Structure 1
C-alpha cells in the first residue's frame, strides 16, 4: 500500500550525517529514511518521555529481540552494491558522553520500492538479515551482498527506556563496500499519519518555487491513484482514511510524494465503579484487577488483546509518559488516587485519563500488649483473671489462637489458668474487604517461691560463716526473687557473708510481689575448719563451739572413707587428733553432730568436714 512513497519519502523530517533528528517513527507505518554517507547519523531515541509506543507492534517477527522496547523504525536504500557494516550505539548525550544505554536492533530485507515492506509477510523470519539482543550499548549490524536499489528495514530499540541519542555509522569503507542512497531523504508530506478521535487533518505540501499542485488518492478498485477534483492548493483537508499523493510542478520538473492517513476512534475508558482495596498488612495493590472493567466499553473477549492499559501516579506523570513500572505490585501507604488510560495497540491511539481510587484499609493499632506477666499459684491458676482484646465493631471477625489452636471467636478472650503454650494471637478480619491483620502476645508466668535451699559455707578464721540461699519454683516460670536475712533489707544477692553462729532467719519473695513471702530458720554451727596438733600451743585442738541458741548433744568423727574414728564429749576441750594415744595422719575428716534448737525445741543433725594438718 505504500506505492512510490519510498522513492520520494519524507522531506524535512530527517537531516543527514551529524545533524540531530527532531523525531523518529515509532511504528513501521511511520517509518523514516536514513542514509549513512561518510559520517555519523545521530538522532534522539524513542523513550518514555516522548513516545506513546512502549513496545513493538504485534505482527512482525522480531527474531532475537524478545522485548522490542521503545522502537524506532528506519529504512535505507542501496546505492552501490556490496557489503555494509554499521556501528549502532546509544548514550545519554548527543556527543556520545554520559551513561551508556542498552540498544538492540533487527534488520529485514531485501525489498523493492514497490513492496509493502511494513506488512507482517515482509517483516517475517524468512526476511531476517541481522539481529542482536545483547545488553551492550554498542552493536554491529551487517548487510552482506546488498544490491543496488534494494531496501532494508531497520528496527532500533531502546531497552533502557531512558532518554538519550542513537548513533549509526557505516564502518566499512573499502573498495568492495556497498553504500546507501541519500536521495531517499527528499519528501514533503512527512511520515504516515494516524489521526485519533478527530474527523479531519490537513496535509501540507508547500514547496519553494512550486508552480502547481495536484492531489490524488489511491483507488482500491482501480489499483491506482486518481485525481481529487478541484484540489490544487498546497494544503489538502482530509476526512477519510486513505493513501494520498501530491504532484508538485516546478520550473525544474515534477516531483511527487505520498502519505498514508488513517483515522481511528479514541478508545473508550470506563471509570471503575468501586475502589481497589489495599490491605494494610500487605501494603500492595494490584492495579490490573480493574483492567477488564476499564476496557469493557470497547471490546468483546476476542478483541481484548489489542488494548493495553497504562497506569500513572499523577497527571504530570501522564504528560511525561512516566508509567508505573509494575502495576501488579504497587506499594501503597495510605488512600491514594492513581490514573489510567487505554492504548489501542493497532492504532496507537490513547483514551482519556480516568482516576482509580485506592482505599487503604488501616486497622487499629495494637489493642493489647506484646507481653504480659501473670502471677499463678501452685495449681496454675491466675491470681487475677486476664482479659485480652476489645470490641472493635461488627465489621470485623475475630479468631483467637493459642499457638495453632483456635480457642475463641469472640472479640475478647478471658484467661484464668496457665497454658502449656504461652503465645496467643488474634486474627482480625474486615468482613467487607477480607483484609486481615494479626496481633500477638506472650504471657510470662510468675510464681512465688515454693521452697528454698540453704547452704552454710565456711567463712574466715574468726568464727564467721557465709550462707547461700536459692529459691525453688515451678519449672517454666520466669520469676525473679529477692532475699532477706534476719529482717534486713531485701536484695537480689543470694549469698550473705560474715554470718555469726547461732539461729538465723531467711525470707524470700518474688520481686514483683507475686505470691507469699516464704521464711525459714537455720542454725550456723561453729567449728574449726582445720587444726595443727603439733604442740606449739596454737590450734592444737579441734572443737565445736556452743551457743545460747542451740545445745550440741553428740559429736562423732569419721575418716574420708566414712570409717568411724572417735566420739567426742560436747562439753570437753575438743580433739587433739589422736586415737588411743597415737596421732592420726594429715587428712580431711568428717564429723556429724546432733543438736537441739532452743527456739523451736527441735532436734537436728549437722555434718561437715575439717582438716588435720601437722
Structure 2
C-alpha cells in the first residue's frame, strides 16, 4: 500500500528556506514549506572525509557539492518514507541520519548515490509515487517511533539544478495525519511555516497577553515593509510571502516571522473512455497524462491513477504505470496534485477502461482423420456468441467439415467499442492410417533380451507387450524367453495391429572339443512353447539335427561325424492354439561352431 500524505512546497519562491549546513538545518513538520534551490555547500559537514555511507566525494573535493540540510522529529510509530522531486535531467543524492547532533552524524540509515541515468522524477525512501517499480534511486521504508530525531542531506551532484521538493509518505501519516512530525521542533509565536492552496483562507494569529499594539510586515525578497492598516492581532493572508508581526508590550516586545506559500490548485480535464484488445496485456497509464493536464505545465503536477475514488482523494494505492488489465470494464480514478503541495489536488475525473474478451484457441490445433472415415470436424465446437469466425476456405461457421489433409486458417474476431480485435489460428488435419507392424527386431542376448517394433508409418502410436501397460517407446527391454504378443495402438482411434513373437535365448557360438566348457548348443525357452521343433541346417540348407523337448541340445555331430567350424542356421516352429504349426518369425537364427 502506498501512502502519499504530505508534500513540502516546491517553487521558485525567492525567499526560500535553504541551509547548506547541518548546524543550521531547517526544521520541518506537518505543514512546513520547503523551497527549492541549492548553491554551494557552506562548511564541510564531513570534515574532509572521503565517504559517508554510500556518499562519495564530488567534483568539489568534498562529499557535498550543492547541499540542503533539514531536520525533523517523529511523533508516531510506523512506516516512514519520503520522495524528493527533481528535474529528470539532473543528478541528486541524499542521506538520512538518525541523530540530534550534527557533530555526531554516524552512518546514514538510508542513502542513495546512484546517478539518474534513467531520468526519474523522484528519488527517496519507500516507493516512487508515479507507480514506477524499477526506480533504483529508492531505498527501503524506514520504521520509526515517537521522539526520534533525523537529519536529511539533499545534495545536487550535477552542479546544475532547478530545485527540488520533499514529500513525506508512509502509514504514520494515516494514523497521525496532523502530528506525524513534531511541530514543537519549531518554536514561534506564529507557528511553523504554512503551505496552502490558492483560494484557501489563511489567517495568522499573533494574540499575546499584555499586548499594547500589533504591527504587521511583509517581505517579498527586498526586506520587510509594514502593511498599512494591519494593526490587529489577526492578519488574513492572500499572497505567498514572508510575514512578520511586532507585538508591543509594556515589559518587552515580541517579534515573530512565518512563511506562507500558496500553490496552484490543479484541474483534472476529462479523459475519454479507452478501448483495448485483450492481447495488449500491459499498457502505460502515464500515456493519459496529456489529456488530464490539458494546457497545465506537467513539471508542476503529479498525476496518479487509482482503483477507487477514495484512494484518488487520499492519494493512496496508486496503480502502477505498467497496468495489467483484465477483460471487461474497469473504472480508473484520476488524481492530479501539485508537486508543491499535494493537498492542492483534483480527483473529480475518472474514465472507463474497456477490454475485449480474450480470444484463445481452446480447440485442437491438430485433428486426426482415420483413413476409413470420409471427413472430420475442425474448429470451436463451443463457440462464443460474441465472436465471429472466418476460415481460409471462406466458411464463416465456428466449425467446418474437411476431408483433405493440410493446414486450415481460422480468424476469430470480436469488437469492443469501435475497435475490432482479431486472432488467427492454424488447424492442421492429418490423415491417420491404421498401424501396420512391418517387422519386429528381437535381440535375444539372454542377459537382456530386447524387442523393437517397426511400423509402416510414423503415426501417433503407443506400444504394448502382452498385458503390460502401454508405453510411448517402441522398444521393450528385459523380455523373458517365450512367446509374447506385441500390440501397436493408434492414439487417434484409428485401430491396432498385433504380432506374436518368440523370444528365445541361444548361444552365439559353441566349441564341442570335449573340454566340458560350451560343448553343446541349445536354445533356452523351448519349454514355454507347445510342441516346439527346432531344425538345424548348414549353410547349404542341409538338415543336420532336429531338437525338441525330448532332445534340447546339439553336440556338433551329424551321424556321428564332427561338423566343421562354420556358421549354422536354425528354424523354430510350434503349435498355435488352433493346432496349426507355425514358424516363429523375427528370430535371429544364426550361430557359429568353433573348433
Q: TM-score, normalised by structure 2?
A: 0.54
Instruction: Indicate the RMSD between aligned Cα atoms, in angstroms.
Output: 6.8
Alignment of 1:33-432 (within 5 A): 43-44=72-73, 55=85, 64-65=91-92, 89-91=96-98, 100-102=109-111, 188=190, 190-191=192-193, 193-198=195-200, 200-216=201-217, 225-229=225-229, 231-239=230-238, 244-257=243-256, 261=260, 266-274=265-273, 276-277=274-275, 280-296=278-294, 299=295, 303-315=297-309, 317-318=311-312, 321-322=315-316, 324=318, 326-327=320-321, 329-333=322-326, 335-345=329-339, 350-357=344-351, 359=353, 361=355, 363=357, 368-369=362-363, 374-377=368-371, 384-389=375-380, 396=387, 410=396, 412=398, 414=400, 416=402, 430=415, 432=417
Alignment of 1:426-445 (within 5 A): 430=415, 432=417, 433=419
| Aligned-residue offset at 1:212 | 0.8
- Structure 1 distance, partners of 2:343, 2:439, is 88
Match of 1:449 in 2: 435
| Aligned-residue offset at 1:512 | 4.7
- Bigger radius of gyration among the two: 1
- Equivalent residues of 1:587, 1:612 under 8 A apart: yes
| Aligned-residue offset at 1:319 | 6.0
Sort the Cα spacing of 1:517 and 1:214 in 2 relative to 1 into closer, same or farther, 3 A.
Answer: closer
Match of 2:482 in 1: 498
SS in 2 for 1:354: coil
| Aligned-residue offset at 1:389 | 2.1
Alignment of 1:522-533 (within 5 A): none
- Equivalent residues of 1:211, 1:249 under 8 A apart: yes
- Structure 1 distance, partners of 2:325, 2:243, is 50
| Aligned-residue offset at 1:388 | 1.2
Match of 2:460 in 1: 478
1:25 counterpart = 2:33? yes
Q: Name stretches of at least 5 consecutive residues in structure 2 with no aligned partner.
A: 1-11, 18-23, 38-68, 114-136, 141-149, 156-162, 174-185
Q: Name stretches of at least 5 consecutive residues in structure 1 with no aligned partner.
A: 10-15, 30-39, 69-87, 105-132, 143-154, 166-183, 401-405, 461-465, 500-504, 559-563
| Aligned-residue offset at 1:250 | 1.5
- Equivalent residues of 1:267, 1:349 under 8 A apart: no
SS in 2 for 1:290: helix
- Structure 1 distance, partners of 2:554, 2:231, is 145
| Aligned-residue offset at 1:407 | 8.2
- Equivalent residues of 1:471, 1:481 under 8 A apart: no
Sort the Cα spacing of 1:233 and 1:273 in 2 relative to 1 into closer, same or farther, 3 A.
Answer: same
Superposed CA deviations along residues 403-425 of structure 1, whole A, max 9, x for unmatched, are xxx8889563647468688x988
1:567 counterpart = 2:542? yes
Sort the Cα spacing of 1:97 and 1:481 in 2 relative to 1 into closer, same or farther, 3 A.
Answer: same
| Aligned-residue offset at 1:333 | 4.8
Sort the Cα spacing of 1:407 and 1:191 in 2 relative to 1 into closer, same or farther, 3 A.
Answer: farther
| Aligned-residue offset at 1:472 | 0.9
- Structure 2 distance, partners of 1:592, 1:185, is 115
- Structure 2 distance, partners of 1:447, 1:431, is 45
Superposed CA deviations along residues 446-495 of structure 1, whole A, max 9, x for unmatched, are 542234325688899xxxxx9968351313x22124578xxx99988977
- Structure 2 distance, partners of 1:93, 1:434, is 64
Sort the Cα spacing of 1:202 and 1:509 in 2 relative to 1 into closer, same or farther, 3 A.
Answer: closer
Sort the Cα spacing of 1:278 and 1:224 in 2 relative to 1 into closer, same or farther, 3 A.
Answer: same
Q: TM-score, normalised by structure 1?
A: 0.52
